[in-house]
A and B are shown apart, each in its own frame.
Chain A
Amino acid sequence: MGTKYLLALKRFTVWLLSGFTTIFIRFGRELGPLAGLIAISLFIWALTPYFLTVENLRNIVQQSSINAIIALGMTFVILTAGIDLSVGSILALSAVVMAKAMQAGLPPSVTIGVGLAAGAACGLLNGALIAWGGLPPFIVTLGMMSSARGAALVVAEGRPISGFGPEFQWLAQGSVLGVPMPIWILLALTLMGYLTLAKTSFGRRTYAIGGNEEAALLSGVNVNLLKLAIYAISGLASAVAGVLLTARLNSASPNAGIAYELDAIAATVIGGTSLMGGEGGVFGTLVGALIIGVLRNGLNLLNVSSYLQSIVIGAVIVVASLLDRYIKSHQNSRLT
């Protein structure tokens, strides 16, 4: 049975890849990652009966929601050819600031506002330094990554804070119409992101900056103000993720979110947004985050060793980028 099984697996993989590539070329950025998501899901479904249950699918979306929300903000940043390395630290800082406010006895609605404001403030500071300080985003957000983490440790005195009551936990553990709250929040934010990028002049200018910053500037776009807003969006998205994470774990830890920037960048890139800026969108990013979520879930269900899991996820990031490059060269040759 062993060799027959392997042969079938091999043939199946070849089919999968050729199908994936074809669809990717045909429909481009938005549908390519979706085809990938479906292909990977079918593949895992074929290998384990535990994958395709309503409960498990709900789990996957819920598990992906924190990364996806950070990645939505990251998409705006990457569309302008920037990068935000500070998202994980901002997540932790806004979470512990909110937790401290809650310990002080403020009602949840106010404390959530405080947490979100903390995240947005960090983002604004990032944006201001990048826009008016003229520093590269990599450096500014690297600095923020360290400072915000330190600030989180100071605020929380190094310890996780817990005990927020059922009202607050409902945000992560409650559900409406059978759909868990994190999924609703994720869908709402994705829709908002999509509308902003596709239907507003703010969105068009975001693409313009990423496509050619000089040209955007010359055609009258207030590049500095736009960058300020975009890094604030990223900070805000991280803070929303921080609120959800805190509700999910019923505690806010100053050590939360370490290395989350890598997952968020991965989701954005797998979703087809170009690191060079100017191309991509939030639906792709949502799909990218789901791809990572499905892979992690599937590899758990299949009891694949955690060492191999890291290899697989790394490989998917690289393969997605390769496909991206392949398409670009294909499209360019068609144009000429």
Chain B
Amino acid sequence: MKRIAITLIAATLLFAGCNRGPDAAKSNAPRVGFVMKTLNNPFFIAMEEGANQAAKDSGAEVMIQAPEREIDVERQMQIIENLIQAGVDALCITPSGSKEIVPAVKKANEAGVPVLIVDTRLDQAAADELGAKADTFIGSDNVEGGRLAGEYFAKRYTEETPICVLEGVPGHETHDSRLRGFMEAVKAAPQLKVVASQPANAEREQGFNVFQNILQTHPEVKALFCTNDMMALGAIQAIAQANRTGTISVIGFDAVDEARDAIRRGDMTGSIAQSPHEMGRLAVVNALKRIAGESIPAEIPVKIELITKDNVDQ
């Protein structure tokens, strides 16, 4: 028993000794830590691909990590602490919570690691309270995206039309902005009447359930805006089950592959396309600029557009 324990320890020490050299030596290339909200959503997988491509093009190393669940901000904070320990030269973060992530950004500030916020903005009041600072924000204008969807409905329906909305997790900056933009456009078009606006937590299953319930109480509804595609995909299933495919116009957000297929089939009217691949690429490119000591703009916009049957294959 004792012998095994001693062998065990000796072996490990030997093993440890052998491996420390090369590891410590290879850290000449700049290293960028990239913290995603999750990696089980096609949007963030596209972002990951963009980040990896930028790393490959420039010979840098990116460490991409994400919590298992999209709303697990505490786990995001752990990952950020761990990446700081792993000695990254810059951090790209897609905050799962605009307020909750601020102490983690503060920790990066204290460690002298530049922070690039991607996709979802920090809550300004929370950041000011702790004195946390990000070097830039890289993302699409979600308010503008929501407005595009609202304006499409306003143009399409000229008579009084009951519409409804599936919202994301309440209090989440990205979803709130999309909703705000949509509601601004809807208010400018008095013929559009919002009869229901319910949260479905950005999830497909919730989208299905919540919209099924809405269909029971508001069968007259003609159009639906969802603040992401997952909820829209759930909602079109509920519409199909009620044998009403084609009678309700659905616009989602993100234009993921499945949503594009649904648009081609005519099950969905459209989706607002962000460019997550471009977002990931720009994040790493600018992180590397920042590491090299160059200055980067405080806002780096990424293009946003409405995808319909007309332009889905472009």
Complex contact A248–B129 (CB within 8 A): no
| Residue A107 lies at the interface, judged by CB distance under 8 Å to chain B | no
- Restricting to B126-163, which residues have a CB under 8 Å from any CB of A? 126, 129-130
Binds B, one of A51-59, A121-129, A210-218, A322-330: A51-59
| Residues from chain A with Cβ under 8 Å of B5 in the complex | 19, 22-23
Chain B residues within 8 Å of chain A by Cβ, number: 51
Q: Give chain A nearest CB distance to B302 CB in angstroms.
A: 24
Interface residue tally on A, bucketed by range: 35 or more
Q: Given A12-B12, A306-B66, A306-B68, are A300 and B169 neighbors across the interface (CB < 8 Å)?
A: no
Evaluate whether A15 and B79 lie within 8 angstroms (CB atoms) in the complex, with A49-B24, A50-B87, A160-B171 already known: no
Stretch at the interface among B97-105, B221-229, B238-246: B97-105
Is the CB–CB distance between B19 and A46 below 8 Å?
Answer: yes
Determine which residue in B7, B65, B130 has the highest number of CB atoms from chain A within 10 A of its CB, and name it. Answer: B65
The one of A23, A158, A259 that contacts B199, using a Cβ cutoff of 8 Å:
A158
Whether A50 contacts B100 in the complex (CB less than 8 A), given A59-B81, A63-B78, comes out as no
CB <8 Å contact, B12 and A162: no
Q: How far is the CA of A255 from the CA of B18 in the complex (A)?
A: 45
Report which of B12, B63, B64, B74 forms a contact with A248, defined as CB distance below 8 A: B74
- 6 additional A-B pairs beyond A8-B15, A19-B7, A306-B68, beta carbons within 8 Å, are A15-B7, A15-B11, A66-B74, A249-B99, A253-B73, A303-B64
Chain A to chain B contacts (Cβ below 8 Å), 10 pairs: A16-B8, A19-B8, A46-B16, A53-B85, A153-B170, A162-B123, A173-B103, A250-B99, A251-B99, A297-B78
B interface vs A, CB < 8 Å?
A: 1, 4-5, 7-9, 11-12, 15-16, 18-20, 23-24, 39, 63-69, 71-74, 77-79, 81-83, 85-87, 97, 99-103, 123, 125-126, 129-130, 169-171, 199
Interface, chain A (partner B; CB < 8 A): 8, 11-12, 15-16, 18-19, 22-23, 26, 39, 42-43, 45-50, 53, 55-56, 59, 63, 66, 153, 157-160, 162-163, 169, 173, 245, 248-251, 253, 255-256, 258-259, 296-297, 300-301, 303, 305-307, 309-310
